[in-house]
Amino acid sequence: MSAPLTILGLESSCDDTAAAVVRGTPKNAHVISNIVIGQTDAHAAFGGVVPEIAARAHAEKIDLAVKQALSQANTSLANIDAIAVTAGPGLIGGVLSAVMCAKGLSLATGTPLIGINHLAGHALTPQLTDGIAFPYLMLLVSGGHCQFLLVEGPDAYTRLGGTIDDAPGEAFDKTARILGLAQPGGPAVETEAKSGDPKSFALPRPLLNRDDCNMSFSGLKTAILRARDQVIADHGGLPRALRADLCASFQAAITDVLIAKSRRALAEARKINPNVQALAVAGGVAANSAIRTGLQSLCAETETDFSAPPLALCTDNAAMIAFAGLHRAHTGQFDDMTLSARPRWPLDQTSPTLLGSGKKGAKA
Ligand code: KG4
Ligand code: ZN
């Protein structure tokens, strides 16, 4: 059995500056510390992440995040076996902040450096939290990502499909803005939806009739805009009850698409690898209880295990980067000072580039 290693992880690809320490082996690892410094306030006035503001905030805070992660883990750089850093994909100015920091620490201490694909971090998280075995199907759903990945090993990913335009979290956020609700839109829309009727507005379920695992969410936001304008024209305003109905109908449409496409992706994944036993979900949208419940029922019906990591490890964090680094360190895969930051870096190099970029920047 391989010896446990202690990995420091760094992450700055979007709007969270994060550092974490993870210790163990790929089969049995523990999060020792997990620091996330958010930037929500810095971007609040702009209705989305502003790349230049994000990059500046990362550069200002990454040292602090590392310091806090080491201190929370009650350790120092001298006890770190390798430094893993997100090298892409993401907003390039942000990715550069952590990459430069990691290179500086590596050079100064002689600690090995490992560049990690951010999406691999998300995709491997269910192993860290639930110990689920390869192969499994991963559904990544956040404000910046939306894709199905067949995960067969730490370096073996097949993308089965994804959004061709907006990510679901982005659709939730835009819908909240259209309906005058707070940001982030996901939780606000979910709360409103609780008192609404999901059947009250007939919203589209895009690409459902297409025989593949791709999705589209941008038409849904246009449909919500039209439905809202119609309500305002009919009622001279947006009554609270109808706003709740719009939220419930929107959430039902997104849920239907995600569940139907997950069903398809499971079948596709099992065609490629019949041993797929589990469906794992990651990303902020995985917090939505209607979507979670839908995925759970799909799993029960198809005799598939379901894994949803706790929210702190579902959303962007550096523990997932450290854990992906642990896999690489155990097989002796290190980088040197030529490691570069990459705005685009598909996990599955063979599948065609996704068209959508998402409000949080091009991901893959
Ligand atoms: O993973 P995440 O924290 O950041 C990235 O996008 O990388 O995801 C944030 C997204 C936001 O768009 C937010 O509105 C959405 O996740 N979200 C939700 C819920 N909580 C957060 N969407 C639907 N329902 C929720 N309860
Ligand atoms: Zn992410």
Q: Is the beta carbon of 142 within 6 A of some atom in ligand 1?
A: yes
pTM for the model? 0.91
pLDDT per position as a tens digit, 71-86? 999 999 999 999 999 9
List the strands of the sheet with 5-11, edge to edge: 28-38, 16-25, 5-11, 82-88, 113-117
Rounded to the nearest angstrom, the distance between the alpha carbon of 168 and the centre of ligand 1 is 8
What does pLDDT average to over the chain?
Answer: 93
Q: Ligand 1 pocket test: which of 139, 147, 163, 172 has the largest number of ligand atoms within 8 Å of its C-beta?
A: 172
Q: Is the beta carbon of 143 within 6 A of some atom in ligand 1?
A: yes
pLDDT per position as a tens digit, 148-196? 999 999 999 999 999 999 999 999 999 999 999 988 899 999 999 999 9
